[in-house]
Structure formats: C-alpha cells, structure tokens
Amino acid sequence: MSRHLQARKRIALIAHDNMKKSLIDWCKENREALAKHELCGTGTTSRLIREETGLPVKSYLSGPLGGDQQIGAALAENKIDMVFFFSDPLTAQPHDPDVKALLRIAQVYDVPIAMNRASANYFITSPLFPEAYDYEPHLVAGR
C-alpha cells in the first residue's frame, strides 16, 4: 500500500507545556512555509499558535483530555501526513500512555514525526516538503 502526500500536507502540531513557546517560536520562523499546508493541533497548542502567528490551525481536544488519541486516530485513517511534536523529555506527563500510543501509531503507519526543533528544521527545509510525494511505507501493522 503506497502513500501519496499532496503538495499541501496535513500537519499536526503538538507541544508539551514546557515546549509550547519553542514550537510557537518555530512556527513564527516558518510561518510562510506552514501557511501553505493544512494545520491541526491539540487544544491549547493550536489556540496559541493561531493567536501568536495568525495561522489557521484546526483544534482537537487538549492532549490529556483525548487530543493525542484523536490525532493518533487521524494518523491511522490517513487524515494526517506528518507530525511536529515538541515533547518535553525531562518532565513526567500525566497522559504519558496517550503520548506513547500516538508515537506508536506514527511508527506503525510510517508517518514522519519531528520530535524537536532540529528534526522539524530538517523536515521543513527538505525538498520533499513542498512537493507531492509518493512512498511505500513499511507498515508494521501490515507485516
């Protein structure tokens, strides 16, 4: 089963509390590139990105209230093409099982996921980012 990513990507933006400012700053720096794509995110993160950048970002629930699971379901249904998730590896998260489930689904369906500023910069500067892209995912689920 091959995947076709349109030139206009469907991108999820997620950040743990201590990383929200970093993701918002990154979105400001990359506003022009992100504006060409369909954006969504978990509750507070999506609202803050909208307020701080003016980018249209569809909101799911807050992560601890089920937003991570909603985004995971959208990944499994091929409704999101990639994820930018600025996670905080130094702070325990009360919804850690949900976060792990989201990351697991991204791996199972071979969805690109940037977990920090460095990987996000690689993604957004890749020549594949603004282009349509076909690839044959290595689906763990389809062994």
CA nearest neighbour of 37 among 3, 4, 12, 70: 12
**What percent of the chain has a predicted confidence (pLDDT) above 70?**
96
Query: What's residue 139's pLDDT?
Result: 65
Burial class of 31 by CB neighbour count within 10 A (0 to 12, 13 to 18, 19+): middle
**CATH code of domain 3-126:** 3.40.50.1380
- What are the backbone angles phi and psi of residue 58, rounded to the nearest 5°? -70, 135
Q: How far apart are CA 109 and CA 131, in angstroms?
A: 20
Model confidence at 32: pLDDT above 80: yes
Please state the rounded mean pLDDT for residues 116-138: 93
Query: What's residue 2's pLDDT?
Result: 77
Residues 40-86 have pLDDT tens digits of 999 999 999 999 999 999 999 998 899 999 999 999 999 999 999 99
Residues 82-105 have pLDDT tens digits of 999 999 888 777 778 888 999 999
Query: What's residue 6's pLDDT?
Result: 95
Count of all residues that appear for the chain in the document: 143
- Exactly one of 17, 25, 68, 88 is catalytic; which is it? 68
Per DSSP, the residues of the chain read: --EEE-SS-EEEEEE-GGGHHHHHHHHHHTHHHHTTSEEEE-HHHHHHHHHHH---EEE---GGGTHHHHHHHHHHTT---EEEEE--TTS--TTHHHHHHHHHHHHHTT--EE-SHHHHHHHHHSTTTTS-EEE----GGG-
Q: How far apart are CA 83 and CA 75, in angstroms?
A: 9
Say what the pTM is.
0.93
What are the tokens at 103? 């990351």
Check if 68 is active-site.
yes
| Residue ranges per structural domain of the chain | 3-126
